[in-house]
Structure 1
Amino acid sequence: MHGHLCFGETMMLARMIGTVLGVGYLRPAPGTWGSLVALPWALLLHVLGGFWLLAIGVLAAFVKGWWATAQMTNGSEDHDPSEIVIDEVVGQWIALLPISYGAWANGIPITALWPGWIAAFVLFRLFDIWKPWLVGWADRRGDALGVMLDDVIAGVFAAIGVMVLAGLAHGMLMQ
């Protein structure tokens, strides 16, 4: 059995990923805690490798999160237990991508764009909780992919909101 995980090890790994090292067990509002813990990790990824490392991080976390969610919900009635927060990390990172790109492309510290961080956090939480349109559609799928997709879509909506707000703040839409 060398090189393979046994069932217990597989579940432990899935729980570590799905709960983001236990953050998902924090109460109240585990999804908000998941989004909050995503912020310093996004900063670290951006500082280490710029926009592209954060984008790769989004893809890697999505794939691993989908796997972990499928493992954690296999055979369960609850397709989206509240302790699974890797989906919030992915969605929050997507919401931060325009900020990462703007800082990276313009050679400025990402922390200088702090109002964008606040907007990304608030908008992502809003779309994740409210679940409008496609976010709600993905959530209603009732499977591991839906758990991940509703936050991906909420993150995309938040990223669009961040870009609109940045355009307004910088006067680009006023000309």
Structure 2
Amino acid sequence: MKDKWAHITATVFYVGHLKPAPGTWGSLVALPMAWAIYMIGGFWLFALAIPAAYIKGYYATVWMTAGKDNHDPSEIVIDEVVGQWIALLPVIYGIQMMGVTPQTLWPGWVAAFVLFRWFDITKPGFVGWADRKDNATGVMLDDVIAGVFAAIGVAALASIYHQVMM
């Protein structure tokens, strides 16, 4: 039972088995999940979902990789969901503060997705450092850091946009 739970969690309901580029599929499925969480409980539920998913994902990754040589199999995409959600934090916050529908800030959703994928794929600096850790912490942490970098980028782009357009 624990193995099945870990597999469903780590692959985000089997999305991690989609080819090609399971990480991109994992990031993509994170978008409607984020929208749904926000619609159910607003910014604070979304913000609380991130550490909850991290913890659940960490343990699922530990169980999925136990006794295996590959510490980061491509089908594990819960880390992409967590990182993508972090990248979306400024967008979800903006939606809440402005009192608009999630669709209104669609450029922020796109920017969060593109920036997160770029940082996750290229693995600059601390992202690469975390990725080189040969354990579940590394699997999860590189995407957390990529998500933080992407969130900073999203906030910077929003600031530039609002200064130019306002």
Name the TM-score class by shorter chain.
over 0.9
The offset of 1:94, in angstroms, is 0.4
Give the structure-2-normalised TM-score.
0.97
AA matched with 1:77? D
Query: Higher Cα Rg: structure 1 or 2?
Result: 1
- Rounded to whole Å, the distance in 1 between the matches of 2:74 and 2:37 is 26
Counterpart in the other structure of 1:121? 113
Q: Structure 1 residue aligned with 2:71, among 70, 75, 79?
A: 79
Q: In the TM superposition, what whole-angstrom CA distance separates every residue of 1:96-115 from its partner, at most 9, and x where no partner exists?
A: 01000011022111210000
- Rounded to whole Å, the distance in 2 between the matches of 1:50 and 1:109 is 11
The offset of 1:47, in angstroms, is 1.0
AA matched with 1:32? T
Identity across matched positions, percent? 62
Q: In the TM superposition, what whole-angstrom CA distance separates every residue of 1:135-162 from its partner, at most 9, and x where no partner exists?
A: 0011011100110000000000000000
Q: CA RMSD in A?
A: 1.3
- Rounded to whole Å, the distance in 2 between the matches of 1:121 and 1:55 is 17
Give the structure-1-normalised TM-score.
0.92
Count of residues paired in the alignment: 166
Counterpart in the other structure of 1:70? 62
- Rounded to whole Å, the distance in 2 between the matches of 1:53 and 1:131 is 29
Counterpart in the other structure of 1:39? 31
Q: Structure 1 residue aligned with 2:17, among 10, 22, 25?
A: 25
